[in-house]
Structure formats: structure tokens, C-alpha cells
Structure 1
């Protein structure tokens, strides 16, 4: 049995098909939760998603994603705040507790505004009983590593701002599980696992991230080092899969979801 007892989730980006087909496949495979994209709701409706969740018993790990919000330029800042309010409202309507927000990747951004922007976002989220899960991505402008993203969270100082641990962004950047050392376990919002067949080369990271990840255990990354570090910390929160893979997405979502659960349980049991 895995030493990580938290609920297993599946990011719907792995699956093809309609929103109903994706959620039914995830539930049938044994996942307790899903990470839901707003596009999943746009192609369905809040009422339909509510009905599917009630029927299947699935919970929402988070709703995503608010891109390039922190440090938005003067030309985009008001638009990004409006987008944020819309996504927070959607999360509230869906009954989700968390909204996922990656660190800014925009070419034009204002570093001095990042902290203020995140404080504003966390305040708006708190008014709605929501948490913000902040993710440093390998190609983020300011915060491309876990230590950097955690330092930003500390600077913001909002109790509802937590960190995302994503294996892809950790290992693609050539980092190790030692990056978790200074992160309090209670401030980890969720853990996303994936793998790769080949180490991403400079200039190819985003393409590999968005099209060619593979299921945990099918690739070359030392996921066991991350899992062992989380277990040593006593992590008991959500852990699951965020796998962007064009070939898997083109297949029957029921088969892919079953394979995904088998891969997740296998890597957690090793």
C-alpha cells in the first residue's frame, strides 16, 4: 500500500471525448477527483457538470486555469482581473474549493506588480471561500522553480495561497526533490505526476509539456525520489496525473483512464 494516502485525481486534459465521457471514464477507473478545465464546462454547462459529479461521486481537485495573471502588463491587467473574477465565480458555482494559477509566462510583464496582484487575487478568492494553488512552471518568467515560487507565496503572506508540486516542471528544469525541503507540507495544494520518454531539450520544453508527456513509470524520471520526499513529509493531500499526450487523448477515454489509474497506483506502490 502506498505511503501517500491522499485522494487520487485525474486531470481531464488526458482524455478525449465529451465532458460527460471524460468524467464517467475517470470515475469508472476509480479516481476520486478530477482537475477540471473551464473548457470542460464551456462545452457542457455548470448544471450538467453538477449532475455528473453528483451521479459519479467525483470531487473537484481544482478548476483551471488562470494564465499570466501575476505581473500582467498595464495593457492586460484589467482584462486579467476580469478573467480572474469570472474563473472564481465559476469555481464557486461548481462547488470547487481551489483555482489553479501558474506563475506568469508572458513576454511582457511587470515584476514589481506580482506580489500585489497575488494579494488582490487571494483576497477575492477568500471572499468566496476559495483557495489559490500557485504553480511555478519550467518556463515561468520569475518563478520557474519550487523554491522561487514558495518564496513568492511567503512574500504574499495570504493564508489561502498554496503551492502546486508538478513533477514535469521539477524534473524538466533539471531540479530534484530537494526543492521541497523548505515547503511546509500543509501548504502543498496538490501533486501532479507525469513522465517523459526523453529529457526535454532547451527550446522544446513547452512543446513536450503540452503534447508528449507520458504516464508515470513509462519514462525516465526518478519519480520515486519525489514520492519518497512527500511521504517523508507526511503529505496526505491530493495526488494524481496531469498528462498532456496527443496520442492518448485520441483513444477511448475509458481505456486511457484505466491505464492511467494503473500507472498511478503502480508508481505510488513502488
Structure 2
């Protein structure tokens, strides 16, 4: 298969070791991969060997994730998170990766003062400058203060750092039903990463259900019930001039129990649908967009 330019998948969707995941992703036809810190630190032969595997795989690192609960802390908690951030950035840079994902804080110990949140994001961005890393800040739909891409963008804009931008995750948009029209207020040049996933039900009623769905029951674009919305999101980003990467962030317990090569093939079919049918403006009707099951 030929690689679908601009699309990649996350190792989180696959079972097995890092070498197995990288091989399955490459053989499915992708040329990039989204990696997590766990991919490196849990590799049996150590972090340096994990970095070597990634570099030798021929796959480009789309991004590195995920820094959690950074902004809004004070005192020893803040210093602790600064140390964590520095460690993650060092691994990110060692991979040759240019984007690190940071998601909005869920901590009850974090202040909700907007100026403090902006100040911390600015500090995070400055820490990344010497390593040539861009920070993509994502609003988790269960974040304590920032839980939509609209409010995440407000902080990014206020921080005003060249290497601090927005991370957009379709799951959180659909889970909170945040209007896609609000994307028009975002500078497309400041969107550093777009993560795509679908899920199998129309409505999420509680925060607990939202977290459970996000962590265990996502599916690839076109496999769930939000195909039309996903198509509209990708088309809108394209019209806005977004020229960055799309990564499939699909947390799914069932996929992790399936052979990695089969899961990667499902992901590649999703990428082909988005690239060949949606972005070429031949968007099928919603009833036609459901992918065939493997």
C-alpha cells in the first residue's frame, strides 16, 4: 500500500511490543506514528533502544504524548510538573519529534485563575524552545477549567508564543457537542495537531461515561455514528488552511486484543476514506460512510 499523506495512527490502538506496533503500522501503509512516553519507558530493552527502533522503522513521529495536569499548580506541585515536562521534552527531542501534546488539567489542586493558566502555558512553551519543540495544547472534555477547544484556544492566544498552539481532538468536540463553527475564530497556523476518532453512540450523558468511552470505546473514523461530523470537521479544517497532520487516537480495548496488523489495516481504510473521498470533496452520504468491518 502507498502511504496516505498527512495521516497516521497512534500506538495506543495496538497490542504487543513497540517493535510489533511499528511494523504493523508501517506495513499497513502509514508513514507516521503518534507515540507516547510509555512506548519508550516500558520498552524491555530501555528508552534508548526504543528510540532506535522508532528511528530505524522509517516512520516519522507525528507527535509525542501526553503531558497532563501541568497548568495551574503552585509550589512543590508546580516544580514536580516542570521536571516531568522536561523529561518528556528530552524524549520527544531524542525521537526527532517536533510536537508534544499537553492536555488541560483535571486536578482539583490547580487554580482556575485564567492569568495563572496562561502564565504556566507560556512557561511550558519557553521550556520547549531550546529543543525545537512545539506544544499542542488540548482541551480535555472533562478538564476542570478548560474543557473545550474554544477555551483552550483562548489560553493559547493569550499566551502568545510562536511554539504554543492548539491540539484538536474530534472525540472531545463531539462528546461536548461544541459547535464546529467556532473553529473559524482559530488561526489555522496555530493548530499543531488534529486527532481523530469516532464512537458508537450518539449521546454521552455523564462525565463518567465520557471518560470511559474516551479511554476504552473509541473507534476509527467511519466505524462509528459520527462519520458525517468527522467529514465536516476535516473539510472545515482543510478550508481554513490547516496543513498539519491527522492522527487516529483510538483507545479501544477490543482493538488491543486483536492482531495488530488487522487493526492497522482498519486504520488505513479510515485514512483512505478521509483522503480519497472526503478531502477530494466527494463526501458520501452518511449512510454510505460506514466502513465495512474487518
What TM-score, normalized by structure 1, do the two folds share? 0.94
Q: Secondary structure at the match of 1:111?
A: coil
Corresponding position: 1:194 with 2:193: no
Q: 1:205 aligns with which of 185, 206, 210?
A: 210
Corresponding position: 1:220 with 2:225: yes
Kept in 1, the 8 Å contact 2:62–2:247? The answer is: no
Q: CA deviation at 1:48?
A: 2.4
Q: Secondary structure at the match of 1:65?
A: strand
Kept in 1, the 8 Å contact 2:128–2:135? The answer is: yes
Kept in 2, the 8 Å contact 1:46–1:93? The answer is: no
Q: 1:144 aligns with which of 143, 147, 152?
A: 147
Q: Quick one: distance in 2 between partners of 1:54 and 1:122?
A: 25
Higher RCO, 1 or 2 (CA under 8 Å, sep at least 6)? Answer: 1
Structure 1, unaligned runs of 5 or more = none
Q: Which moved more, 1:58-67 or 1:194-203?
A: 194-203
Q: Which moved more, 1:177-186 or 1:158-167?
A: 177-186
**Equivalent residues in 2 for 1:25-104, closer than 5 Å:** 25-44=24-43, 45-104=46-105
Q: Secondary structure at the match of 1:150?
A: helix
Q: CA offsets per residue over residues 91-138 of structure 1, 9 Å max, x none? A: 122221111100111122112321121111111100221110100111
Q: CA deviation at 1:258?
A: 0.9
Q: 1:241 aligns with which of 238, 243, 248?
A: 248
Q: Secondary structure at the match of 1:17?
A: coil
Q: CA offsets per residue over residues 139-186 of structure 1, 9 Å max, x none? A: 112221112111100111111001111100111001132121111111
Corresponding position: 1:158 with 2:165: no
Q: Quick one: distance in 2 between partners of 1:179 and 1:48?
A: 43
Q: CA offsets per residue over residues 18-58 of structure 1, 9 Å max, x none? A: 01111111111111211111110012234323332333310
Q: CA deviation at 1:256?
A: 0.4
Aligned to 2:18: 19
Q: Secondary structure at the match of 1:76?
A: helix
Q: Quick one: distance in 2 between partners of 1:265 and 1:196?
A: 19
Aligned to 1:252: 259
Q: Quick one: distance in 1 between partners of 2:87 and 2:74?
A: 19
Change (3 A) 1:228 1:135: same
What TM-score, normalized by structure 2, do the two folds share? 0.86
Q: Secondary structure at the match of 2:69?
A: coil
